A and B are shown apart, each in its own frame.
Chain A
Amino acid sequence: MFGKKKTEEPARRDGFVQRLRARLNKGDSWLTYDLANLAPGRKIDDEVLEDLESSLVMADVGVDATEHIIASLRKSLARKELKDVDALYAGLQKIISEILQTVEKPLSITEGEGPFVILMVGVNGAGKTTTIGKIARRLKDQGLSVMLAAGDTFRAAAIEQLQAWGERNDVSVIAQQTGADPAAVIYDAYESARSRNIDVLLADTAGRLQNQQGLMDELTKVKRVLGRQNSNAPQEIMLVLDASLGQNALVQAEKFHDALGVTGITVTKLDGSAKGGILLAIARKLAIPVRFIGIGESAEDMQEFRADEFADAMLRPANQVEPAT
């Protein structure tokens, strides 16, 4: 549990894995529940695989990715490679890691003409503004100069929320008034960042649902306007996905990707008990790099995405389990 408790200092990797694992296996998840109930000694047969199939879907993995995983396991089973529950875990862990490894590509800030622009996009309440605060902290800690652009000119107090993050991190925020054209705000911010030799510009945008065409067009305009200033900008279009969402997260990834060409994903709220299994489906279908995972509301509650850790944490059986209802 990391929620509101102030973390003393950026957690060491080890500690983090431990924590993530502990959390992902809190016991109130059906995946671990079902896995743990594939009693030791129970023969691994079709029925077990069917249980597993349900469990994966319960982790928001989605039917498509689940079917793929189960089909692989079935093959192993036919080859008599799965003799016991341990072998089943190992097989499952391997398959999931393999899928996620294809998208384990950390964000690298390249130097070039003008600031490196990260455009943050996603549905309402996903965690865009908070993630900007976290990334700003991280980049500053790495010695880079950072500026924020208050591109959410719609939601009440969205600008002030970003400004609060600017203050926390001691970075400047370029903003106009509510109702201003987001493309204009971000354009101004870009100019300002360039003239001040800023390394990274983080541009916030208002949350929008992917089926709202007018609002999606607004984002393509922002992208176009940035591109006119520098053909490389925005260097990163980061989609923020809430881990507690279900299958619609895949639709979000598809539609934002279609509209904008998403270059990176950050998954937030993994400190909850949701598994974020939809990442498997997204990785298989779209292969968009996953950059960070968010594990809390504070600036330091973010880590680079690691496939093996994620898979491991997802599957490690719980010590004590009790079903939720």
Chain B
Amino acid sequence: MFEQLTERLSTAARNLSGKGRLSEENIKDTLRQVRLALLEADVALPVVKSFIERIREKAVGEEVGKSLTPGQALVKVIHAELITLLGTDTAALDLRARPPVVIMLAGLQGAGKTTTAAKLARRLIEKDKKKVMLVSVDVHRPAAILQLETLARDVSAMYCNSSASEKPEDIVVRAIDQSRRSFADVLIIDTAGRLHIDKEMMDEVVRVHDIAGPHETLFVIDSMAGQDAVNSASAFDKSLPLTGVILTKADGDAKGGVALSVRQVTGKPIRFVGVGEKTDALEVFHPDRMASRILGMGDVLTLVEEIEGKVNRDKAEKLAKKIGKGRGFDLADLRDQFEQMLNMGGMAKMLEKLPLAGKVNTAALNGAANEEQMRRQMAIIDSMTPGERRFPKVINGSRKRRIAVGSGQQIQDVNRLLKQHLQMEKMMKKMSKGGMKKMLRGLPGGGMPPGPR
């Protein structure tokens, strides 16, 4: 069966390393695998084609020749290229305009527009201290207006009432007037879902846009979307001057190749990613994480990043919960940890900052402090299938052999890594039992009040 790109790649990489030299022939095979893998990740064909061309050019060069294993180098080239294509400009919303700044959301049916409107409002209210008003011009779907009204209440946004018997254009005029009179900084317009091939409905949304004159027009798309996303995205982009894209439902297990397709076809930055149904489940888009995800490397936020970065109670608690469930810390997480440690100078250093650190056995970690070793261990993890990373228990003798060959390491190295992961997993459990909250309270800038939750 078609697993993920990394699996395909490790197969392809083994073929490569076995042959020693890159010939037009064997690179063609590998690239064919990559092509299929990207298509399976729902990246659209034209995008895949140009991507493969770029990779071909780069891979034939010395980058591949010099590396320990060609497969690893290839993954790196692909990863870097994906990031480039996804866009390194994670521009935040542009709100520099005379208030009320109008933001409009549009997209296909069920993409997540209404939910996203509420999420954006919440973010602007809580993070940016803006006065936000919400309005729905969805006069088509049953209870669509009530849905937004309910959500507006949930996030304490101002709300402009509308009714299904009104014309969307009239609602907009009224909403702009009302938002002005109530001194709103931002007005967010939620529109009905529509198909890009539905001319009547596309005309409607254009009229709404013309009247509203939004500063930001965001295309909302489901991260599970398939090949047709290039068609819908480009049609919306042609009808409306889109300023950005929001990807929803990324808390699912889709690879999200659509991110690449939409980015390519519209050229517009992906602004946010929806990661859940609740109104706080909105994150800034990270091209590197998305690239890893499309490649099947996982996009889990790391503990290190959580703690080292702007400490954020919600996020940290989310992670704590994840780890608390005992399902959290798999090999993909471990790999992320390594990557972070390479950037930051080690887990042990990070643990020093934690009040719990004294109680935790950091011996397991010290073994990994060596940079070179970490890189090799990351290579080992990269040669595993996603399933193996998630459930390391399935890694039996023959799998170990395969992984060792794929990563150019010895079987003992694979064993050592697995043992180390086991120890860390135990430690993580202990940390979560020991009360993540207590631990967080001691963090610099954590500043969270004790008290019940």
Contact = CB atoms under 8 A, between A and B. Distances in A.
User: B interface, by DSSP: helix, strand, loop or mixed?
Assistant: loop
B195 A325 contact: no
Contacts of A245: 222, 224-226, 254
A123 B112 CA distance: 12
B85 to A, nearest CB: 15
Interface extent on B, as a size class? 35 or more
A278 B39 CA distance: 13
Nearest to A59: B227
B143 A161 contact: yes
Contacts of A28: 197, 231
A269 B226 contact: no
Of the listed residues B40, B42, B46, B231, the one surrounded by the most CB atoms of chain A closer than 10 A to its CB is B231
A288 to B, nearest CB: 18
Q: Give chain A's interface secondary structure class.
A: loop
B225 A30 contact: no
Contact of A246 (B150, B258, B265): B258
Contacts of B44: 58
A168 B142 CA distance: 10
Interface in B153-203: 154, 194-201
B147 A248 contact: no
Interface in B14-62: 36, 39-42, 44-46
Contacts of B240: none
Interface size band for A: 35 or more
A63 B39 contact: yes
A245 B254 CA distance: 10
Nearest to B142: A164
Contacts of B196: 272-273
A246 B257 contact: yes
Contacts of A161: 141-144, 147
A324 B264 CA distance: 13
B232 interface: yes
B36 to A, nearest CB: 5
Nearest to A168: B142
Interface in B240-261: 249, 251-255, 257-258
B162 to A, nearest CB: 14
A115 to B, nearest CB: 24
A62 interface: yes
Could you say which of B140, B151, B224 has the most chain A C-beta atoms within 10 Å of its C-beta?
B224
Which of B45, B110, B251 has the most chain A CB within a 10 Å cutoff? Answer: B110
Given A124-B110, A124-B112, A275-B228, A210 B252 contact: yes
Contacts of B226: 60, 244-247, 249, 274, 278
Contacts of A57: 36, 39, 45, 227
Interface string A6-26: 000000000000000001001
B126 interface: no
B42 A157 contact: no
Q: What are the 9 closest A-B residue pairs judged by CB atoms, nearest first?
A: A125-B110, A246-B226, A164-B142, A246-B42, A274-B228, A157-B147, A248-B254, A3-B198, A161-B143
Interface of B: 1-2, 36, 39-42, 44-46, 108-112, 140-144, 146-151, 154, 194-201, 222, 224-232, 234, 249, 251-255, 257-258, 265, 277
